[in-house]
Chain A
Amino acid sequence: MRFGSMGMRIAILAMAYGVALLVGICRAQDGATALLPGRQGEVYVGHRYYLTKGIGWGWIKKPKESWSRAKWVALKEQPDKGLVAPFRQLGARDADHMHEYELVGYFADYKAYDPKFNDLLPVFVILGYKPLGLAKKLDLKPGSRGQISEGTSTASSRADRPIIQQRGTSNDEDE
């Protein structure tokens, strides 16, 4: 049995696809559509916005909604199923700062506490994504109520990297 034969290749591809379906590893990337047995996600648009602190991933809205209706969200990943944030595959947490994505997923029925900003964020369960490229800065402030203001970092090697100063109660501490 030759490994390189056409029949064998087709068989291996079919088996791999079947295994992927069975274990639910159908991550959407490079334009693929997200598929996951069980709960199906809906399509959203996400604007990644990296902060050095806090759990916010960025803003998410429905495709036809205005960005003014977007939610500042935390992302729920499932690494055991290969369902992870796009930056995980880019090598750095800030690698996709200001990039936009077509996201497939749904909002969890619970919220996440952000200990850095004493904030409560909606949780988006990511099932897949398709990169849409670099986007313009949105006229939005991070935080569930847009309460996180930014300043220019003096500590970062990148001068345009935001640092966070929260108005009111600060919980800018380690846990």
Chain B
Amino acid sequence: MMTHWMLRTGLAALLAVAIFPFPEAKAGEYLIVSGGPALKFNEDDKPAPHDRYWANFIDSAITRIAQIKADQPGSLIAWLVYRPAYVERGREMNQDLVREVETRAAALGVKLLWFDRTRQLVNYINRGQDRRQAPIIGFDFFGHSNKACFMFDYSSDVDGGSVSFLHQNQLTAIEKTAFAPNAAARSWGCHSGESYSEAWKKHFGFPMMGAIGKTDYSAGGLPVPSSEGGHWVQ
């Protein structure tokens, strides 16, 4: 009788777990990449200055990280941030923005990794973890972009230009096997859906959501398409 009860209870428990699984971290790593802000020196005399607020790509990334933590407690998350732009903007503002970002990352309990060159980012994607054990399962980019290029800096080192970027033609530097086959990717920057998404899918085999038109970070939180007729595509 006891054995029968135990068997029934055990089966019921197994069934319950199958139907209502406990929230569990997926096996893999989420990468959140933040570019940096422009210098006000380069932007303030322009009709539509970029980055009046220095932390657009920080606050939005924090929102996304909090989302992942809520949806997938215990997930492996790495937040990669382009440091030189925060050093330069901080110098201009007479404020230690590097420490400010580190404080926010610590409060969030997320692993923060600074990078100064695109190669460092690519190296982390390819070999930052044993990608057989911890493939990348999610990728989010917050920063300046046009349809063909992620720009980790913009109007910081050179007025209106970028000296650290990942052009769609450079995607071949990233190993396809760094990502899980069913990984999710998204660019929250402007215009990525107009060309970069296609190049991404062609190289990696899974889609990357990107915007048609510009995106707007000014309301805080995650950016939204802001051009007339703008929307997300993949």
Contact = CB atoms under 8 A, between A and B. Distances in A.
Given A113-B163, A175-B144, A74 B158 contact: yes
Interface stretch (B70-78, B131-139, B148-156, B179-187): B148-156
Interface in A81-109: 93
Interface string A59-90: 00000000000000011110110000000000
A147 B190 CA distance: 25
A112 B146 contact: no
A80 B148 contact: no
A115 B92 CA distance: 24
B211 to A, nearest CB: 11
B158 A75 contact: yes
Interface string B160-171: 111101010000
B231 interface: no
B41 A76 contact: no
B161 A115 contact: yes
Contacts of A160: none
B162 A115 contact: yes
Contact of B48 (A110, A111, A116, A174): A174
Contacts of A80: 91-92
A173 B147 contact: yes
A70 B161 CA distance: 20
B157 interface: yes
A74 B159 CA distance: 8
A40 interface: no
A75 B159 contact: yes
A1 to B, nearest CB: 33
B65 interface: no
A126 B65 CA distance: 41
B190 A175 contact: yes
B145 A175 contact: yes
A153 interface: no
B214 interface: yes
B176 interface: no
B161 A55 contact: yes
* Interface band, chain B: 20 to 34
A114 B154 CA distance: 10
Contacts of B146: 115, 118, 171, 173, 175
B149 A115 contact: yes
A173 B147 CA distance: 8
Per DSSP, chain B at the interface is loop
Nearest to A74: B158
B161 A77 contact: no
B163 A171 contact: no
Interface string A133-145: 0000000000000
Contacts of B48: 174
Contact of A123 (B91, B148, B158): B158
A5 interface: no
Contacts of B145: 175
Interface in B101-151: 144-149, 151
A79 B156 CA distance: 11
A41 interface: no
28 contacts: A54-B160, A74-B159, A75-B159, A76-B157, A77-B159, A79-B92, A80-B91, A111-B163, A112-B157, A112-B161, A112-B163, A113-B161, A113-B162, A113-B167, A114-B161, A115-B146, A115-B154, A115-B160, A115-B161, A116-B160, A118-B146, A123-B157, A171-B148, A173-B147, A174-B48, A174-B190, A175-B146, A175-B154
Given A115-B144, A115-B146, A175-B146, 17 more contacts: A74-B159, A75-B158, A79-B41, A80-B92, A113-B151, A113-B165, A114-B160, A114-B161, A115-B149, A115-B151, A115-B162, A118-B148, A123-B158, A173-B191, A174-B48, A174-B190, A175-B145
